[in-house]
Structure 1
Amino acid sequence: MSGSEEQNKANQEKFHEEMKKTVEKAKNMTPEELKMKYKGIVYPSLLCSEATFKALELFEAREDDVLIITYPKCGTNWSIQILHQMLFELHNKEPTIAHAMLEFGKPEKYEDLKQKPSPRLIASHISYENTPKSFFEKKTKILVILRNPKDAAVSYYHFTNNNPVLPTYSSWDLFFKDFISGDVMYGSYFDYMLGWEKQIDDGNILILTFEDMKADLCVEMRKICDFYGINLTDEQLQKVEEKSTFKSMKEKSSDTHGNLANAFFRKGEIGDWKSLFTEEQSKEVDANFEKYLAGTRIGEKINYSKYCTF
């Protein structure tokens, strides 16, 4: 095992230990205590803090960082796995992986990341407005993954109820009420998407969708390779694809995500929203999409009419 592999394994084990302690702490907290607000947006209080967010504003990005940004439950772990495998195939060694989201943990984590070798693989759920300015100043390439709002909402509902550090909901209807009003972790789906709509012409941002990745992963992976300048052979890409299927990731999830494996890897399907949405709720999301995203390029990429009608 190489030095970078050993370091990543040690970081992963440390992360799992920290998560165990966090889960134990969460057992004695109320749903409201599990939330915190920063600049008007709700975040998980056991994972985020005001001190960390303030330190994050001063984060020193690098031009060769690999940054993945998604709204929760829009393909985060999938895209991390893909980029991880691509970088491994390219360099024949483990890349530096920032375990957990960039905004999670204590402020000193950024000093630790500062010492890590490039390329650093970093993921986050933060909005465009709260993304550290240095990423844009350094012209770091950012991969943004979108997912249709109805599937994202249903996946988010199951995730929050299966993740002990997040507040649980006694019913889908209660969760939907918070989702549509933007009173969930990371705020309104629609506001979040509008933030990236403003940056869609930035040549350093690649926007893909969960649905297109499910339809033809090989084509979307080629786009990622072209974007980051990752030159892989067809054989190498096939290896990446094999290790990045939902089945493959779920089988290894107890190693990668410990006791929270089932929360992170449930179905990974398109159209699961139909199992929970009422017709009235569906129309409410339709109205929000029409109000905020219809006619935008982000809205066009989401392909709402194909994936969000009964």
Structure 2
Amino acid sequence: MTTTHRKKFIALIDKAMADAETMAPEELVFSYKGLLYPSTVCSLETFKALESFEARSDDVFLAGYPKSGTNWVGQILTDLVLTSAKNNEDTSNLDNEQLEEFPYLEVGDPEKYQRMADLPSRRVIFTHLTPQNLPASVFKNKAKILLLIRNPKDVATSFYHFVNRLSPLPSYNTWDDFFTAFMNGQMVWGSYFDFVFEWNKHADDANVMAITYEELKENRPLGVKRISEFFDLQLTDDEIQGVVDRSSFKAMKENAGKTHGAFGDILFRKGGVSDWKNHFSEEHNQKMDATFEERLGGTELGGKLKYGVYCKA
């Protein structure tokens, strides 16, 4: 991703971190439609404005629960789209700072959507929202959506380290406190289990492609190729390999200062699989295993997560 495409990203996060320093813990979040959101980067006014957002059929959406790898896969997706645009000599959306928007749909000021209407296609848009909280136009206009899911034990572990290092989010004194909040869905953007359960209703939609963080980790070249084909980006094998090389965790971590500012160090922590084993007790395992079985056992996405492979001690 080009550096100019990141200036707005860095500015927004830096401001959120600065604002949070002067806020009381209870001021850091607000509730909308029963879910919590960070008040430094989201607002009720923005959510109201979002309802009338007009999606395009050629928009490139990435949906994922927080800490499922959306920044990593978002970089892959943006790189694929920019590489494809260069091929088509469509330079209109390559490097113009006026055309930047913070990539997460629900993050920013209420006027953001009017500015987005002026952006050329293809717009790359990330979101942590469940399908019923997305604007109706996304499904009506059949925009293609890459749905990224990751095993819940690693999501919880990554989220725990993330909130305790990021001032705009409420922090937790102990892992136990965090685990209770996570299992009760008292997190920003709501419950992991609700997120996967609601998206499972769209798992068979022709315009939705589900991919797991774990399968991308295991075979990034194949995953990147599948993503490129799903969005009809028509890249050569060499171009796909270039995207693969630029999206290694090592390359992204080294480049994090340029792409994400001070936030980069917080964002790219380990990027591995099975870090949960360093945190989960037998009691935590039993609780999460039972909840997973109850909420996602037998579902298409639940099966895709290979819980028995990635979440059993």
* Structure 1 counterpart of 2:173: 170
Query: Using the alignment, how far apart are the partners of 2:14 and 2:30 within structure 1?
Result: 20
1:108 aligns with 2:111: yes
1:83 aligns with 2:77: yes
Q: 1:57 aligns with which of 51, 57, 61?
A: 51
Deviation at 1:100, TM superposition (A): 4.1
Contact 1:97 1:122 in 2 (8 A): no
* Structure 2 counterpart of 1:137: 140
One-letter code aligned to 2:114: E
Q: 2:41 aligns with which of 47, 50, 72?
A: 47
Contact 2:101 2:112 in 1 (8 A): no
Query: Using the alignment, how far apart are the partners of 1:304 and 1:21 within structure 2?
Result: 38
Q: 2:18 aligns with which of 21, 24, 29?
A: 24
1:284 aligns with 2:278: no
SS at match of 2:234: coil
SS at match of 2:211: strand
Query: Using the alignment, how far apart are the partners of 1:249 and 1:23 within structure 2?
Result: 22
Aligned length: 304
* Structure 1 counterpart of 2:197: 194
Query: Using the alignment, how far apart are the partners of 2:151 and 2:9 within structure 1?
Result: 30
One-letter code aligned to 2:44: E
Contact 2:10 2:263 in 1 (8 A): no
Contact 1:103 1:124 in 2 (8 A): yes
* Structure 1 counterpart of 2:247: 244
Measured at CA, do residues 146 and 97 of structure 1 come closer, stay the same or move farther in structure 2, by a change above 3 Å?
Answer: farther
Relative to the length of structure 1, the TM-score reads 0.95
Where do 1:169-248 residues align within 5 Å?
Answer: 169-248=172-251
* Structure 1 counterpart of 2:272: 269
Query: Using the alignment, how far apart are the partners of 2:236 and 2:75 within structure 1?
Result: 18
SS at match of 1:129: helix
SS at match of 1:68: strand
Q: CA RMSD in A?
A: 1.5
Contact 1:82 1:240 in 2 (8 A): yes
Contact 1:90 1:232 in 2 (8 A): yes
Deviation at 1:140, TM superposition (A): 0.3
* Structure 2 counterpart of 1:159: 162
Q: 1:125 aligns with which of 107, 128, 134?
A: 128
Deviation digits for residues 199-240 of structure 1 (CA, Å, limit 9, x no counterpart): 111100000000000000111112112211111111111100
Structure 2: runs of 5+ lacking an equivalent = none
Q: 1:297 aligns with which of 289, 300, 311?
A: 300
Structure 1: runs of 5+ lacking an equivalent = none
- Looking at both structures, which has the greater relative contact order when contacts are Cα pairs under 8 Å and sequence separation is at least 6? 2
Deviation at 1:141, TM superposition (A): 0.2
Query: Using the alignment, how far apart are the partners of 1:228 and 1:97 within structure 2?
Result: 21
Identical amino acids, percent of aligned pairs = 43
Query: Using the alignment, how far apart are the partners of 1:43 and 1:37 within structure 2?
Result: 6
One-letter code aligned to 2:72: W
Contact 2:157 2:275 in 1 (8 A): yes
1:35 aligns with 2:29: yes
Deviation at 1:97, TM superposition (A): 5.7
1:259 aligns with 2:259: no
